[in-house]
Amino acid sequence: MYLSFQLSDSSAVNVISCESESGSAVGDGLTSVIKILDVRYEVKGQDSGSVRLVGKMFPLGSKMSDTWEKSHLFERETQFYGSIKDKILDIMKGMIF
């Protein structure tokens, strides 16, 4: 996989590779599919590195995807986490990792 796009400061970013692994499995009791993405990138003339991302999707073509769509679960979940994120950050500041 090779992708290229521009940052707001006009630097070109090239995605060199993107590998995925499962973050959830059948039987985990989740209604969505979790994927972990390992992305290697380079910023032209500056930097290169990698980042690990977690993506959440609903299964396409299933009854569950219809339920997700009709009830706007992604939108509701995003709104919920947006409303409590400052409280979560305050809690995390007090924790030692």
| pLDDT of res. 58 | 73
Q: Which residue has the tokens 């009830």?
A: 71
| pLDDT of res. 14 | 83
Three-state SS annotation for 9-70 = CCCEEEEEEEEEEECCCCCCCCCCEEEEEEEEEEECCCEEEEEEEEEEECCCCCHHHHHHHH
Specify the pTM.
0.54
Angle at 92 between CA 97 and CA 77, to 5 degrees: 120
| pLDDT of res. 26 | 63
| pLDDT of res. 2 | 46
The answer to whether 59 and 27 are in contact (CB under 8 A) is no
Q: Which parts of the chain register pLDDT below 50?
A: 1-2
